[in-house]
Structure 1
């Protein structure tokens, strides 16, 4: 655990993301639950992380597995109840773990009482809590906006009232109208409800979506067919999404949320981390706020979308450093519940390199549960697909089920995730006797052993928690390197992103003072640490190291 001086806790922290459906099934129905998380808290604390981000557990029809909320202030019976949540929060805090929960401002479920009332008639007071418009002159949708899920119109016609309602995602997930004061009041009351229970902050879902163009203007076409994002989203990518999300008025919303958080504990103890899928990095950085008064950190998804090549990774790191507002603190991820597993994207050997990168870069890393085991994506046959995106976008490979497969705990029947004889909600990704926590626990060279060692090193070394960072630019092709340093002390991080050996000489390191030997503190290989390392250094295939320079 990190305990550095006066800096906010989250600047030295490591966050561990749990997708509740897939973490641990206590009641034996094949779906993970909150009591299952409680049962496995010692594993989380034993890793050496500082906080948990818990994906949605709210009441929901589960059309999008909890992101379609029908009651923001209750726990879905699938996961437990409010008493179970309170026990989880208490148990986490007793172990020194902070707890962040999802805050979902853009939409509700169509089964939410607000939308049921809004749908009952145009004159109902709740009507303006959602975005309704009459048909276009030809009887079609009010504009050309598209749904992320499936790429069809972002509008559904409500025949009884003769109007369309807006939904950026599924038709069963109508968008809230944040220009209606009652929505702002009600949704900030939701935030107060969880803050009053003692949560340490929020991960804000789709943080750049809530505020839209008030004139509802058509989106222009994507230039020359260029993708709006860095992965195929089907027809959705035929437009430049300049009017249906990312409106400047989002910034006022997050300034207001920041003031609410500060009213509980001034100084940044309660935090907001935003899901901002924006890859124009200058625009992305605006979500910190000009005065650092908006989101504490927008998630940085760059490593999920950047080619795993040294030049591309180095350029991304430099770009992020260049756009950060003065005093802003970066964030890093290599996996989450929406993206293919890192071990499947770049291979198991390079997943070890990616873990060392994640835990040594300047910033707050978020570690997706299962990545400490190098879990691959599961093979989910078509008849077992659960994800609505997977069902509508199979032609584009958009399903998110493979990365949401259940956690592997042991070689026992049910992989320790569920009970013997129970079919889990998704197939397991690998053999738990080889890949599970029990199999990797204490095994030299395992991914779990490496992850624990890196987290322990991070906790011990102030250079890695909050030190400055200097990117090295003269290293051999295929190698990324940087210095993490505090006054009078420096660590050298070198990562070989290739499957062939690279030689590191003093010329590429830009170091002052004697040429070593350095002290090896950590390695993804079987090098013995701690131990001396001199120059030139042969950096093995798929190898990354942390060296103490001074």
Structure 2
């Protein structure tokens, strides 16, 4: 039961969609806001209450849009700000909320802030990022997020004649979120999109926003201060807006991201996801019973966002080696189905052998667990992966070439392979 209208997210079904790979309305081979707007009746028939949009901002496109170079715009291939506003208005008229990705752990190296920072050491933007005059040693607890694709978290920039810090790819320099000026800029970004009608934000890499960055040693004085600032700002501007955080941390630490009901409204439940997959692999409920007992109880007004798959690797790093071996044997027997020594780069339908009964069982389980269910676009039609693609692109379809427009009365056709897709192998993930 919802306690107030402001806790709408506790009764919602969330649909995660990569706009550029969804529905192409103008025939250029790339999904767009017009196509998404024309698909809203389809979402209504599915029973979707909230659409979570992956990044749609202007980008060089080297990390599926997570390399943002303008927080206040729309990638021109996807439409305009006017198209975005029309989409939000049309969604609202159908009772569908809209949540957008907020990617503020890092920017693209093409962002004007970074370009100003590298060109002028006296620029105010220099301290928007983290620098070192000489290449630092790799901190044992702060290695690359993508092992095998990046071998360090410091890269040299010739213009700056200094090394900059990045936990993700070298073209994604980390923002110095300990800098009050950066925090103020983030609030402006949040305020901008709230004014355009969004109902909340999915906070990318929230777990890294609470950790020490760069050369600093030891814990932050107030690790969760930034998240509390975001919550306070959002609640002041719009009391019913939601913050959905990506924080893949051990169960004992997850409660900190709820705070005392003054931080995140929802947490993506990576811990439950890993053990749910283990339960499916072993055909037993014990892993689920274990994790449900280990997870902290959310405070009033907060909760979990549960999912079977997302658009990253299926991360089983929280499992023991023996448990991981069972999952790999069941769902990723070939080496190129695995990635980063912690995950599986496959979609749900082929993981479950395209067996409709097993897929329906998995979703019945998802919808019966305590929390808000999150469905990835395409899973409702049994979409599969393409293992010919490098890295995460196996489950994040790329768009190229014109696609036939789908009539508005029919379900949209995402631009990727089906659950019975080719299983041609690739030797190793890469960009």
Matched, 1:405 2:397: yes
Matched, 1:428 2:399: no
Q: Is the 8 A contact 2:24 2:403 kept in 1?
A: no
Counterpart position of 1:275:
246
Report 1:65-84 matches (<5 A).
65-84=64-83
Question: Which protein has the bigger strand share?
Answer: 1
Q: Is the 8 A contact 2:202 2:243 kept in 1?
A: yes
State the alpha-carbon separation in 2 of the partners of residues 431 and 344 from structure 1.
Answer: 7
Report 1:173-184 matches (<5 A).
173-184=172-183
Determine which of 279, 292, 311 is the counterpart of 2:286.
311
State the alpha-carbon separation in 1 of the partners of residues 57 and 264 from structure 2.
Answer: 23
State the alpha-carbon separation in 2 of the partners of residues 203 and 174 from structure 1.
Answer: 20
Determine which of 127, 146, 149 is the counterpart of 2:143.
146
Q: Is the 8 A contact 2:258 2:299 kept in 1?
A: no
State the alpha-carbon separation in 1 of the partners of residues 66 and 150 from structure 2.
Answer: 19
Closer/same/farther in 2, CA of residues 318 and 196 from structure 1, 3 Å limit: same
Counterpart position of 1:364:
372
Superposed CA deviations along residues 159-218 of structure 1, whole A, max 9, x for unmatched, are 333210011111111100112111111111000000111110000111111344267368
Superposed CA deviations along residues 36-63 of structure 1, whole A, max 9, x for unmatched, are 1111111111111211101110011111
- Residues matched between the structures, number: 369
State the alpha-carbon separation in 1 of the partners of residues 70 and 98 from structure 2.
Answer: 20
Higher RCO (Cα < 8 Å, 6 or more apart):
2
Secondary structure, aligned partner of 1:202: strand
Secondary structure, aligned partner of 1:330: strand
Between stretches 150-159 and 292-301, larger displacement belongs to 150-159
TM-score, length-normalised on structure 1?
0.63
Counterpart position of 1:131:
130
Counterpart position of 1:23:
22
Counterpart position of 2:337:
none
Matched, 1:354 2:362: yes
TM-score, length-normalised on structure 2?
0.79
Report 1:229-268 matches (<5 A).
249-266=222-239
Select the structure of larger CA radius of gyration: 1
State the alpha-carbon separation in 1 of the partners of residues 266 and 414 from structure 2.
Answer: 33
State the alpha-carbon separation in 1 of the partners of residues 227 and 155 from structure 2.
Answer: 29
Closer/same/farther in 2, CA of residues 106 and 403 from structure 1, 3 Å limit: same
Matched, 1:334 2:304: no
Q: Is the 8 A contact 2:131 2:164 kept in 1?
A: yes
State the alpha-carbon separation in 2 of the partners of residues 346 and 302 from structure 1.
Answer: 20
* CA displacement at 1:404 relative to structure 2: 2.3
Matched, 1:35 2:49: no
State the alpha-carbon separation in 2 of the partners of residues 57 and 90 from structure 1.
Answer: 17
Counterpart position of 1:523:
none
* CA displacement at 1:250 relative to structure 2: 3.9
State the alpha-carbon separation in 1 of the partners of residues 194 and 255 from structure 2.
Answer: 26
Secondary structure, aligned partner of 2:169: coil
Closer/same/farther in 2, CA of residues 38 and 215 from structure 1, 3 Å limit: closer
Closer/same/farther in 2, CA of residues 47 and 115 from structure 1, 3 Å limit: same
State the alpha-carbon separation in 1 of the partners of residues 27 and 74 from structure 2.
Answer: 18
Report 1:95-494 matches (<5 A).
95-135=94-134, 140-141=135-136, 143-144=138-139, 145-149=142-146, 150-213=149-212, 216=215, 249-266=222-239, 269-278=240-249, 280-289=250-259, 291-306=260-275, 307=278, 308=280, 309=282, 310-320=285-295, 323-327=296-300, 328-339=302-313, 340-349=346-355, 350-377=358-385, 379-381=386-388, 385=389, 390=390, 399-405=391-397, 414=403, 427-430=416-419
Q: Is the 8 A contact 1:115 1:126 kept in 2?
A: yes
Closer/same/farther in 2, CA of residues 429 and 6 from structure 1, 3 Å limit: closer
Closer/same/farther in 2, CA of residues 217 and 255 from structure 1, 3 Å limit: closer
Superposed CA deviations along residues 144-171 of structure 1, whole A, max 9, x for unmatched, are 3432232411111123332100111111
Q: Is the 8 A contact 2:58 2:70 kept in 1?
A: yes
* CA displacement at 1:341 relative to structure 2: 1.8
Between stretches 55-64 and 25-34, larger displacement belongs to 25-34
CA RMSD in angstroms, aligned pairs only: 2.6
Closer/same/farther in 2, CA of residues 56 and 331 from structure 1, 3 Å limit: same
State the alpha-carbon separation in 1 of the partners of residues 362 and 405 from structure 2.
Answer: 27
Between stretches 342-351 and 88-97, larger displacement belongs to 342-351
State the alpha-carbon separation in 2 of the partners of residues 83 and 214 from structure 1.
Answer: 37
Closer/same/farther in 2, CA of residues 352 and 176 from structure 1, 3 Å limit: same
